Amino acid sequence: MNKKLLVVMVSLVLIGMISTVAAENNHLFPWMRMGLGARGMAMGGTGTAHMNNITAVYWNPAALGNIKRAEFAGMYTDMGLDRNHNFAALGVPFKYGYVALSWIQAGVSDIAGSQNYNSTGNFTANDHSISLSLALGTGRFKVGFTPKMYLSKIDDDSQSGFGTDLGFLWDINDYISMGVTLRDLYSELDGEEVPAQYNLGLAIRPIWGLTFATDLKTEKHTDEEVYVSIGAEYWTGAGKDTEVGSSYSAINLEEKTKWDDILSNTQAGIRLGSNDGNFTAGFGIRFKMLETNYAYLAETEEGFEDSHQISLILRF
């Protein structure tokens, strides 16, 4: 198959991985603009101002500064039609902030190949991002920076590139936070530009355990159209502190009385959202050192299936 035609066809399949939020953007790496982590995705694809776990490496690297413990996270997304979207990250706090290493992958398998109208068998297309995030700051204002390396592989053809994310977070008080993320501020793959995305987020926590969030997003080369994501989350259950381990916690984990076992202080969370008009929902269960989340993402694009996302977080 002609190399250029092959790249175009696979790109169209990968573009189909995202919802209508970015469906009109046919530029490089659309999966980098679709969001990740079942908690944020179930809340409509929000996370710029409220994400307080290690998936903040994507939503807003500055928000990593609100994490008080080492964390490991993994995510698997079954998008149907042989499409997948996966993520893993490991982060640790230090005196002045937080540092995290992360990996994001998006791919399509069992793509039928042909040359001169003759079948050449099936092949796989995969894109990868490997990132190192750093968050700095004390008090209520933090800044984050993420340099990242891109690798794109289609059959036996591979390309590489780099990217840069920049984030800011302002916790105005215990109830309101604002965040800004400049994603792929300066990024390219094999000399081609990866379009930047600009995100403005607001989170409001009116009562204990309840969060309302909204993200406004716009992308370069899309006529400055603004996409709106909104979401809500409520944690309930036996636990009394829904923000254990973050700066929002009323009790620092290091100061808590030692728990009898890892499954103590069980909590359950429910979430709803809208990602530029696409319905999202999910739930989570949280223990002392373990949190698992599920997200359902409705797909309105014809020919594509709804997505189901599962993520896991371990705290040390």
The structural domains of the chain, with segments of one domain joined by +, span 3-315
Measured over the CA atoms of residue 40, residue 45, residue 47 and residue 50, the dihedral's sign is: negative
Least confident of 80-94, 175-189, 279-293: 80-94
Output the average pLDDT for the chain. 82
Tokens of 87: 């993520």
What is the mean predicted confidence (pLDDT) over 56-63? 97
Residue 314 has pLDDT above 70, yes or no: yes
Burial of 195 (0-12, 13-18, 19+ CB in 10 A): buried
H-assigned helices in 31-131: 38-42, 56-59
> Which is more confidently placed, 246 or 280?
280
User: Measured between alpha carbons, how far is 190 from 200 in angstroms, rounded to an integer?
Assistant: 29
Q: Which residues are 150's β-sheet partners?
A: 129, 161
What is the mean predicted confidence (pLDDT) over 151-168? 88
Q: Which residues are 161's β-sheet partners?
A: 150, 189
User: Measured between alpha carbons, how far is 18 from 312 in angstroms, rounded to an integer?
Assistant: 22
Tokens of 211: 């969060």
Residue 232 has pLDDT above 90, yes or no: yes
**The CATH number of 3-315 is which of 2.40.160.40, 3.30.70.2740, 1.10.10.10, 2.60.40.10?**
2.40.160.40
Assign 19 a pLDDT band (cuts: 50, 70, 90): very low
Q: What angle do CA 284, 170, 227 make, to 5 degrees?
A: 65
User: Measured between alpha carbons, how far is 41 from 51 in angstroms, rounded to an integer?
Assistant: 11
Residue 5 has pLDDT above 50, yes or no: no
Q: What percent of the chain has a predicted confidence (pLDDT) above 90?
A: 52
pLDDT of residue 20: 39
